[in-house]
Amino acid sequence: MAKVILYTTRTCPFCVRAKQLLGNKSVAFEDIDVGNAPEQRAELTARTGSRTVPQIFINDAFIGGCDELFALERSGELDRLLQA
């Protein structure tokens, strides 16, 4: 199974949607809450160039945020990435 990492905050509705999609697919993921963690927010910015959440990685490849995750799901590509 793929290694999935999400950078999120607890109050972000897009983060909740992304986690729900992955949960519905029974995908285990690491959730890094950057809401009150400036050092982890800095790590996020260094990895992606962005401070917005969610930011999602599958097998260390940056796929983007919630919109990109759902686009991958609609195209059928998400399942392929999660199987790799």
Say whether pLDDT at 14 is over 90: yes
CB-based contacts of 59, cutoff 8 Å, min separation 6:
2, 3, 81, 84
Residue type, 6: L
**1 pLDDT band (50/70/90 cuts)?**
confident
From 4-8, 28-32, 46-50, 63-67, the region with the lowest mean pLDDT: 46-50
Q: What is the pLDDT of residue 15?
A: 98
Report the side by side order of strands in the sheet with 30-33. 30-33, 4-8, 55-58, 61-64
Q: pLDDT tens, 16-41?
A: 999 999 999 999 999 999 999 999 99
Say whether pLDDT at 3 is over 90: yes
Contact 8, 33 (CB under 8 A): yes
